[in-house]
Amino acid sequence: MAKSDNNRNRKPFRNTKGGDQRKPYSKNFKPKDKQNAPVKKSNPDEIRLNRYIANAGICSRREADTYIAAGNVTVNGKVITEMGFKVKRSDDVRFDGKRLNPEKKEYILLNKPKNFITTTSDEKGRRTVMELISSATKARLLPVGRLDRNTTGLLLFTNDGDLTKKLTHPKHGVRKIYHVHLDKSLSLADLHKIEAGLELEDGSIDVDSISFIQGAPKREVGVEIHSGRNRIVRRIFEHLGYEVTKLDRVIFAGLTKKDLPRGHWRHLTEQEVINLRMIK
């Protein structure tokens, strides 16, 4: 429909006080005071205090706010109760007097294959377990305990020093179960000798339990042990004249290989971490 002559000849409205008073239209339009306002840049070296505490593995951020308000936290010797307070990673942050590490705690479980050594580096150029978890995180994790080069199975990595000490100290009796393959059938008499305890060159050794694998040849046995002595499972059988042809750790501190193929890794669940911390 054609516009009427009246509309065609209509002039733009102008305020009688002068100037076009129509609102400017622009997607990028900002009032002058906001256009010229300085942009406050965040300092990448600073993080909120509640996040710092959560990263240290003490509690969640929400719980951290409660502890901050209650006066449980100090920064560089001063009690801080302010919500949203920011700290630098170099600051001395303490919770109930204990200094915190701001690095977020991580826990990775690997089903280790053969021919990888349990160390962070090797001067001989041999492959290490660190290669297998290199894509898992940027954090610097360390293996908890050791598995020798030809031993397969569960190996835990973490940057949680307190938990590492707990899992590797014999007084906590951390449960480890191995599936052992021998070069020949284990006699019942030797099985009973292992059950009763053996005297090795570096002292006596007791296993928690030993049994034949149901439905498998007598060359295969399951051994539960909490000792962390070097090559201890292999040495037990070598002492009695057997050679361990294959050794696989199938359970470690309640963790299993379920849905974890050989050579693969996964992060622990929150509940698994809680369970590990509850070990007495």
Residues marked active site are found at: 148
> Could you give the angle at the alpha carbon of 92 between the alpha carbons of 86 and 94, nearest 5°?
90
Which residue pairs from 89-96 have beta carbons closer than 8 angstroms and sit at least 24 positions apart in sequence?
89/45, 89/47, 93/49, 93/52, 93/53, 93/56, 95/53, 95/56, 95/58, 95/67, 96/72
Instruction: Calculate the dihedral angle through the C-alpha atoms of 178, 181, 187, 189, rounding to the nearest 10 degrees.
Output: -20
Over its C-alpha atoms, the chain yields an Rg (Å, rounded) of 32
- Assign 205 to helix, strand or coil: strand
Distances, alpha carbon 262 to alpha carbons 47, 153, 174, 222, in Å = 38, 8, 23, 19
